[in-house]
Amino acid sequence: MRIAFLILFAVALPIVLNSTDQAFYLSFASRILIYALAATSLNLVLGYGGMVSFGHAAFVGTGAYVASIAYVEGLASAWIGWPLAVAAAALAALVIGALSLRTRGVYFIMITLAFAQMMYYLVNSMKAYGGDEGLTLPARADIGFGLDLGDDVTFYYAALCFLALAIFSLHRLANARFGRALLAIRENEARAEAIGYPVQRYKLVAFVIAGAAAGLAGALLASHGKYVNPNILHWTQSGTLLVMVILGGVGRLWGGVLGAAALLGLEHLMAEHRIGWLAALLPDYQQHASLGVGLVLLAVVLFAPQGIAGLFSRQRHA
Amino acid sequence: MLEVSNLRKRFGGVAASDGVSLEVREGEVHALIGPNGAGKTTLIAQLSGSIAADDGRISFLGNDVTRLEQHSRVKAGLARSFQVTSIFRGFSVLDNLALAVQARSGSSLSFWRPVAAERALFDEARAIAADVGLGERIDTPAARLAHGEQRALELGLALATRPRLVLLDEPTAGMGPEESRRMIDLVERLRGRLTVLLVEHDMDAVFRLADRISVLVAGRVIATGTPQEIRRNAEVRRAYLGEAA
Amino acid sequence: MVLVLEQALNGLQFGLMLFLLAAGLTLVFGIMDMINLAHGSLYMLGAFLAATLVQATGSFALGILLAIPATAVLGMALEVALLRTLYARDHLSQVLATFALILILNEAVRIVWGTDAPMPMPAALSGPVELLPGMPYPAYRLLIIAVGAAVALLLWLVVAKTRVGMQVRAGASNREMALALGVNVPRLFTFVFGAGAALCAVAGALLAPLLAVQVGMGENILILAFVVIVIGGIGSIRGALVGSILVGMVDTVGRTFLPHLFGLALPPQFASAAGPAIASVMIYLVMAVILYFKPQGLFPARA
């Protein structure tokens, strides 16, 4: 029942915003949808697979850059650029995952972080595609069918379709054999192996699926802003994605969506609305928004580790 | 069925397995006993594949499995249960066993079809639950089972993989006399259905169940034989000074 | 030839400073099994405190010497107040909490100091020293090498020869056993943390005149420290030393010579792009190769 309401809200949003002349928020809403997709892909690896990957931004970034480079090299069609982005991100996830998943615990976290940063430096040194200044795209990708992604409403619905598909797929996956095996691996890896699950193989599969979805999010992100630069691969972006997942609820179906909406919404609110008493304390507090994010994150980790989704449901897994 | 030749494993300066050789025949219940620290659990870990041996050979059903990964050994019919209960605490008993049945029955690289639709999976899980005496508790979350029930689930998980040979690591660990008796009955009922290598401290259980016994001391098997032979073995008595034999 | 030697020394210098960070971090990982992303922030705090204290006291040496215990105290306060509660938590919680700490500390520093705090090179050491005939080398960098080597030696002595060091080693290889043997674990943890913070401060203060003292300086070096620990093995000081020198050398020498080498071997249009690109990720490639053969690092402390 709640889902029906949510879908209705999401579909009706552009119409409402357009009619009340708040077109800017449409672009903002698209951003939330894209980050929700990225965060949901991380949720698969983290919440369902139990892998603390601190390098997920590498896959978002790979997707963003491959899609952008394809466009700049003359392949303006989204039907070419975006699948390429997904494939490239999946490949990156395969290579990084194959190397990283041989380790666990603290090692795994550090290695994913290091590899992601490696991608950042690699992309940074690609002078042909903007280097540290980034790459600007003349227009959004061409999706055909007479539809123009340059129109914010159209783009919003495209992003919404992808997100809906991702959530639905995650829901099916969680209840299918693979999802159950993954959850078992997350719960007790040694036992899962001892009853015959090829644990490392399945973790890698999950890692690659998540990487591919992240790549799609990256392609959408690059197209949306018509701009991509190496910072999208910076490890602090990986951190941001992790924050979204824990804020929204690790291992819960809507965790990525809720977390992206909450974090981006919070950041926007802090930047736009001046809180009187806070301004009295520290006049330029809005320059230090990260401090607020840090404090909120710390509070969530210490006191509400189940995130927002945890407040709504007592069930452990969606 | 299972042949272990000269298995060696060192941890730093300690030789946990110092040339272990033993042989388990098809259909028998073979007990492995030894004082604390003899290296029994390390041996089980090497046999099941969760630890790689430094040297030596493990042969199962005629095939060399020494370098084979654990999950492949399970698929070949070699399963284990754990001394320290290792179950899926967040899942119900039924789900625990269903997971094991699922692992056994084909690939889990299936992403769309809900598992709930696979009735055969859950029927088999129910059957195993009944087999190990958990028929009434299938919907209970594993974390809320009593210790004895958890040990039964532990056994059930190993059995669900339909092994040819099962490595039981102290199935009666931490159990009182009543629960122990129930567990011993359970293992007794396995006789004939599959081969068992049983690690145990409970000597009652050992002498009731075992067809043959191997004695592990300081990482080596010092004697193998029938329970009577082992009882009379002077070296074994020395190793077990003070223990009831 | 001279260039090679000079770059090698630079690599050694950087490697030794990296070691100071990695040593503290690897012990925290090994003994407390806790991933601490805010370690780089302690390095940053050390640098900022040193810059301020040098200016306040007018003496380079005094400023640095005061910054070290100050940072250690801050580190220990952080451990007791906050990080202690994280030991029992899962790694994800630790990652997120210490990530939050980075955000908070970065902004806190920005509020107190502004975005950066310049620290000038001490005049006495700003000149070159003639190491070999015809080869001048900055005196300050030699000081860093000397201090780094001395601290490494001191660290080795403490860990290998003292009682505390033995407890630390025991904890790194088997925490439960150390507990069972009666080691006062909470106090040991606080001590290890404080020591780690002090080492960070030394590195931060010494590197301050060379690199820029600015908000966010901790994060870049933190990742390098991670690479060092992955290469060297968690919980191993020896591994941290070998890893640091390796990383320092590969990074410094690689950046200088790899583009040159590429230029010799490849046609120019590839070399000019590939050279700097590969040079910048050289250490990560080395890490990947080592990982492939030794997933636990070169000298893992745990069996």
C300 domain residue, yes or no: no
Chain B contact for A187, CB < 8 A?
yes
- Shortest CA distance from B155: residue in chain A: A195
User: Which pair of structure tokens corresponds to residue B119?
Assistant: 């009735």
- Shortest CA distance from A55: residue in chain C: C223
C131 domain residue, yes or no: yes
Neighbours of A9 (CB within 10 A): 10
Contact A52 C91 (CB under 8 A): yes
What pLDDT is stored for residue B245 in this prediction? 45
Percentage of chain B surpassing pLDDT 70?
A: 98
Contact A176 B102 (CB under 8 A): no
What pLDDT is stored for residue A282 in this prediction? 67
Residues C22, C240 contacting (CB under 8 angstroms): yes
User: What is the average pLDDT value for chain C, to the nearest integer?
Assistant: 83
Q: Which residues in chain A have Cβ-Cβ distances shorter than 8 Å to B82?
A: 190-191, 194
Tell me the mean pLDDT in the region B129-142.
89
Rounded distance between C-alpha atoms, residue A56 and residue A39, angstroms: 9
Mutate to test the interface with A, among C90, C109, C111, C281 (most CBs of A within 10 A): C281
pTM of the model: 0.88
C141 domain residue, yes or no: yes
Mutate to test the interface with A, among B83, B95, B102, B108 (most CBs of A within 10 A): B108
Q: Which of residues 200-239 of A touch C (CB under 8 A)?
A: 235-236, 239
Contact A181 B161 (CB under 8 A): no
pLDDT tens readout for residues B224-242: 888 888 888 888 777 765 5
Of A110, A246, A288, the CB nearest to C226: A110
What pLDDT is stored for residue A317 in this prediction? 42
Rounded distance between C-alpha atoms, residue B6 and residue B43, angstroms: 11
Q: Which backbone phi and psi does B171 adopt, to 5 degrees?
A: -60, -25
B155's enclosing H/E stretch is helix B147-160
Residues C4, C260 contacting (CB under 8 angstroms): no
What pLDDT is stored for residue A315 in this prediction? 46
Q: Which residues in chain A have Cβ-Cβ distances shorter than 8 Å to C99?
A: 239, 242-243, 297
What's the number of CA atoms in the CB half-sphere (13 Å) around residue C139? 10
Indicate whether B71 pLDDT > 90: yes
The CATH number of residue C101's host domain is 1.10.3470
Q: Which residues in chain A have Cβ-Cβ distances shorter than 8 Å to C292?
A: 99
Neighbours of B198 (CB within 10 A): 24
Which domain range does residue C181 map to?
Answer: 2-293
Chains A and C form CB pairs within 8 A to the count of 117
Q: Which residues in chain B have Cβ-Cβ distances shorter than 8 Å to A178?
A: 108-111
Residue A120: helix, strand or coil by DSSP? helix
Rounded distance between C-alpha atoms, residue A67 and residue A77, angstroms: 10
Mutate to test the interface with A, among C21, C84, C278, C284 (most CBs of A within 10 A): C284
Q: Which residue has the higher pLDDT, C303 or A74?
A: A74
Residues B195, B1 contacting (CB under 8 angstroms): yes
Residues of chain A with pLDDT under 70: 1, 18-22, 274-287, 309-318
Percentage of chain C surpassing pLDDT 90?
A: 16
Q: What's the alpha-carbon Rg for chain B, to the nearest Å?
A: 18
Q: Which residue has the higher pLDDT, C261 or B155?
A: B155
- Shortest CA distance from A193: residue in chain B: B71
pLDDT tens readout for residues C201-231: 999 988 888 888 888 888 888 988 999 998 9
C299 domain residue, yes or no: no
ipTM of the complex as predicted: 0.89
Tell me the mean pLDDT in the region B40-63.
90
Fold of A2-312: ABC transporter involved in vitamin B12 uptake, BtuC (1.10.3470)
Of B70, B108, B161, the CB nearest to A181: B108
pLDDT tens readout for residues C77-91: 999 888 888 888 888
Rounded distance between C-alpha atoms, residue C85 and residue C87, angstroms: 6
Pairing of strands B212-217, B220-225: antiparallel
What pLDDT is stored for residue C121 in this prediction? 67
Rounded distance between C-alpha atoms, residue B216 and residue B37, angstroms: 10
- C255: Cβ contacts below 8 Å, ≥ 6 apart: C276, C279, C280, C282
Contact A194 B75 (CB under 8 A): no
Contact B114 A193 (CB under 8 A): no
Q: Which residues in chain A have Cβ-Cβ distances shorter than 8 Å to B141?
A: none
C136 domain residue, yes or no: yes
Rounded distance between C-alpha atoms, residue A134 and residue A127, angstroms: 9
Of C103, C288, C295, the CB nearest to A294: C103
C301 domain residue, yes or no: no
C303 domain residue, yes or no: no
User: Which pair of structure tokens corresponds to residue C70?
Assistant: 């100050």
Nearest CA among A128, B242, A287 for reference residue C276: A128
Percentage of chain C surpassing pLDDT 70?
A: 88
Pick the range with the lowest mean pLDDT from B161-175, C63-77, C121-135: C121-135
Rounded distance between C-alpha atoms, residue C297 and residue A107, angstroms: 9
Counting as contact any 3 or more CB pairs under 8 A, the partners of B are A
What pLDDT is stored for residue A220 in this prediction? 94
C202 domain residue, yes or no: yes
What pLDDT is stored for residue A43 in this prediction? 96
Of A190, A192, A205, the CB nearest to B109: A205
Q: How many domains does chain C have?
A: 1
Q: Which backbone phi and psi does A92 adopt, to 5 degrees?
A: -60, -40
Q: Which of residues 7-66 of B touch A (CB under 8 A)?
A: 48, 50
HEC profile for B71-124? Answer: HHHHHHCEEEECCCCCCCCCCEHHHHHHHHHHHHCCCCCCCCCEHHHCHHHHHH
Q: Which long-range contacts (CB under 8 A, 24 or more apart) does B185-194 make?
A: B186/B132, B186/B133, B186/B152, B186/B155, B187/B29, B187/B155, B190/B29, B190/B159, B190/B166, B191/B29, B192/B27, B194/B163, B194/B164, B194/B165, B194/B166
Q: What is the CA angle C79-C81-C84, rounded to 5?
A: 50
